[in-house]
Amino acid sequence: MQNQMLAEDIEEVLITPEQIKQKVKELGEQISRDYKDKDLILVGILRGAFIFLADLVREMSIPVKTDFIAISSYGSSSTTSGVVRILKDLDDDIEGRHVLIVEDILDTGLTLNYLVKNLSSRHPASLEICSFVTKEGKQKVPIDLKYCGFRIPNIFVVGYGLDYAQEYRNLPFIGTLKRSIYEDEGHYRLT
Ligand code: 5GP
């Protein structure tokens, strides 16, 4: 019922639950092959990546540990300032371990650029990135993605962990919002 009400705010579904399930399965299998016999830790970026990470680990067939890092995000706006602040750091030490950052969406790349620099300084054995969605042509800094689920055009999307003003994360698909949802908010821009 709740999901149905949220779904009414959606303009267009870009990635369906079936497409998501299939892609997560493929990524889980690929990561399991690539990291077989390695001490792998998945680092989920809160809050957006929690749903993708939860689905991903259940499609993996190798032992895997998880940790989370929380960073400052958009609030209800849709542009990245480039200023990144760690709100909650990792609980575990990553020195000498194989780290795979799990991100919901790659937009400008500023967040990941900061995180890669920060986590590299802790001397992991390897550091790679898996982003579920990547926006075409939006990156301001080059980001080397080892795994990418979907490429989408440069539009603001919600669902499958992605929020607008902290809502819509629980939608089982990724889609765009109807204009009426955000048009009253002066700070919102379709970038
Ligand atoms: P970047 O630093 O790459 O510009 O931004 C990454 C973060 O911005 C993502 O983790 C996500 O929280 C947020 N973000 C970027 N694009 C979108 C979008 O289209 N929808 C939502 N809900 N969040 C986005």
* Pocket mutation for ligand 1, best pick of 144, 162, 168, 190 (most atoms within 8 Å of C-beta): 162
The C-alpha atoms of residue 129 and residue 100 are separated, in whole angstroms, by 5
pLDDT value at position 139? 87
Buried b (16+ CB within 10 A) or exposed e, 11-46: eebbbeeeebeebbeebbeebbeebeeeebbbbbbb
What pLDDT is stored for residue 80 in this prediction?
Answer: 58
Q: What is the pLDDT of residue 167?
A: 94
Q: Between vectors from CA 143 to CA 118 and to CA 49, what angle results, nearest 5°? A: 70
pLDDT value at position 75? 44
Predicted pLDDT of residue 191: 37
Give, as one character, the DSSP assignment of residue 1.
-
The average confidence (pLDDT) of the chain is 90
Q: What is the pLDDT of residues 4-13, one digit of tens each?
A: 678 899 999 9
156 Cβ inside 6 Å of ligand 1 = yes
Mean pLDDT of 122-133: 98
Of 89-98, 112-121, 174-183, the poorest mean pLDDT is in 174-183
Decide which of 3.40.630.10, 3.30.300.130, 3.40.50.2020, 2.40.50.140 is the CATH code for 17-153: 3.40.50.2020
Q: Which of 10, 74, 77 to mutate to test the pocket of ligand 1 (most atoms within 8 A of CB)?
A: 74
pLDDT attached to residue 78 = 52
Chain segment 68-103, per-residue pLDDT in tens: 999 885 444 555 566 688 999 999 999 999 999 999
Provide the pLDDT for residue 2: 61
Reply yes or no on whether the pLDDT at 153 is more than 80: yes
Phi, psi of 132 (to 5 degrees): -65, -40
Q: Cβ distance 101 to 52 under 8 Å?
A: no
CB 43 within 8 A of CB 90: yes
Residue 89, token pair as written in the block: 């750091």
Which tens digit of pLDDT belongs to each residue from 11-60?
Answer: 999 999 999 999 999 999 999 999 999 999 999 999 999 999 999 999 99
In 35-160, which residue ranges form alpha helices assigned H by DSSP?
A: 50-57, 110-120
Q: Considering only CA atoms, which residue is closest to atom 11 of ligand 1?
A: 105
Q: What pLDDT sits at residue 85?
A: 85
User: From ligand 1's centre to the CA of 106, what distance in Å?
Assistant: 6
Task: Write down the domain spans for the chain.
Answer: 17-153
Instruction: Look up the pTM and report it.
Output: 0.91
